[in-house]
Amino acid sequence: MSLQLKVSNSLSGLVHHLCRDLQIQSKSVFQSDYLVTQTEGMNSWLKLQLASENGIAANYRFLKPNDFIHDIFKILGGQFQDSLSPQNQSWFLFRLLGETAFKMKFPHIAHYYTESETGDDLKRLALAEKRAGWFDQYQMYRPVRVRG
């Protein structure tokens, strides 16, 4: 198993190089190729491009970056941890927002979801989900700096 990282601002160029690299590999037909992409839409587009250029698109396993990192962690002997999915991040942030230390350090934020007498867990959950969504978007849209 090897890791190849290809960077370009041209998707068609990347697909062309990927197809060429996949064609020249000598591997068993039962061995999957792992492709790391960010979205399901990119997976679908890439499958169509691979099928168009190679005649078939089969035995590819598409992973998101967090899933890829999690798989490597497991291969290296790490104990199971929840992945950094937006859902898991939401619950982590929900717990964090409920901690006394957080409320004391950031009272202006805590005031938003504790302003009612009963404490509004629904507002706290909505805030946690919104922030988790931002973290997920940051992973997808942050600028990539390539050093040569």
Domain ranges of the chain: 11-75, 86-141
How much is the pLDDT for 4?
A: 76
The answer to whether 62 touches 45, Cβ cutoff 8 Å, is no
Collapse the DSSP code of 33 into the 3-class scheme (helix H, G, I; strand E, B; otherwise coil) and give the result.
Answer: strand
Q: What is the mean pLDDT, run by run of 10 residues, along the chain of 148 residues?
A: 77 88 79 85 90 85 82 77 74 92 93 78 91 77 56
In angstroms, how far is the first alpha carbon of the chain from the final one?
25
Residue 66: partners with Cβ closer than 8 Å, 6 or more residues away: 83, 84, 85, 139
Residue 7: partners with Cβ closer than 8 Å, 6 or more residues away: 144, 146
How much is the pLDDT for 139?
A: 65
How much is the pLDDT for 81?
A: 61
The answer to whether 139 touches 65, Cβ cutoff 8 Å, is yes
How much is the pLDDT for 20?
A: 87
How far is residue 56's CA from residue 47's CA, in Å, rounded to a whole number?
A: 9
Region of 119 (left: φ > 0; alpha: ψ -120 to 50; beta: rest) is left
Give the class (CATH, top level) of 11-75.
alpha beta
CA nearest neighbour of 21 among 30, 34, 10: 34
How much is the pLDDT for 73?
A: 79
Q: What is the pTM of this model?
A: 0.54
How much is the pLDDT for 145?
A: 60
Spell out the alpha helix ranges (H) of 25-79. 40-54, 65-75
The answer to whether 127 touches 97, Cβ cutoff 8 Å, is yes
